[in-house]
Amino acid sequence: MNLEHVFPCGNPALDFAATLRARRSVRFEMFVSGDRLDAWYLESGIVDAVTPAREADVERAVTVREAIYQLVTARIAAEPYDMGALAVVNSAARKPPAAPRLTATGRWTDATQEEALSLVARSAVELLSGADVPLMKECGNPECTRIYIDRSRGMRRQWCGMDSCGNKVKAAAYRARQKQARTAGAR
């Protein structure tokens, strides 16, 4: 399977919120089609099968995603929650979630779009009301806006992921040091 999405954040709700990348610069939307939304649900592992998304499902998912992001960033900043964002997430979480079933080969979860989105919203509710709140951080890459759970020893993790952001930041710093050394040596 060729994966279309990455999951560096440590929580499904945070990974879902991260599907709009680089929010402060050139935004990159991952949910450009129903197929991409379906792929996210499957690749994240929250469901094993999902009914194909229609345009309205993508719009609803984007609305919930943005509400989750608003709530997460408010929580990190110790600011009050936006009441509209709370209503959106709570409404999605109130819908019945997909129920796993046991099969001869293991666990299997079929879901409708609404059931899959409910699982994401419930993950956000659990995250924002749970013990992981103090572990939430924004990626140290100025171009990245992912929020992740820092479970590193000493809570010193700086990036959402080494492959996606850490290596880029370290390589840029190395190039800057090399350029500075060349400039200093030319004097």
The pLDDT assigned to 92 comes to: 98
The beta strand positions in 19-170, using DSSP E, are 20-21, 28-29, 49-50, 101-103, 106-108, 110-111, 136-138, 147-149
Side-chain-side CA neighbours of 124 within 13 Å: the count stands at 34
Domain, as residue range, for 170: 12-185
d(CA 47, CA 161): 24
Distance from C-alpha of 179 to C-alpha of 186, rounded to nearest angstrom: 11
Mean pLDDT to the nearest integer, 168-177 = 56
> Domain for residue 89, yes or no?
yes
* 4 domain-assigned: no
- Per-residue model confidence (pLDDT) at position 2: 62
Q: Can you give the CATH number for the domain in which 126 is found?
A: 1.10.3300.10
Residue 149's pLDDT is 95
Max distance between CA atoms of the chain, in angstroms, equals 73
Share of the chain above pLDDT 70, in %: 86
On the question of pLDDT at 175 being above 70, the answer is no
104 within a domain of the structure (yes/no):
yes
Confidence of residue 172 (pLDDT cuts 50, 70, 90): low
Decide if 6 is inside a domain: no
22-36, 58-72, 145-159, 162-176: least confident range: 162-176
Q: Using pLDDT thresholds of 50, 70 and 90, give the confidence band for residue 162.
A: low
Place 158 in a pLDDT band, splitting at 50, 70 and 90.
confident
User: Positive or negative, the Cα torsion across 13, 14, 15, 19?
Assistant: positive
Give yes or no for a contact between 7 and 43, defined as CB atoms under 8 angstroms apart.
Answer: yes
Count: domains in the chain: 1
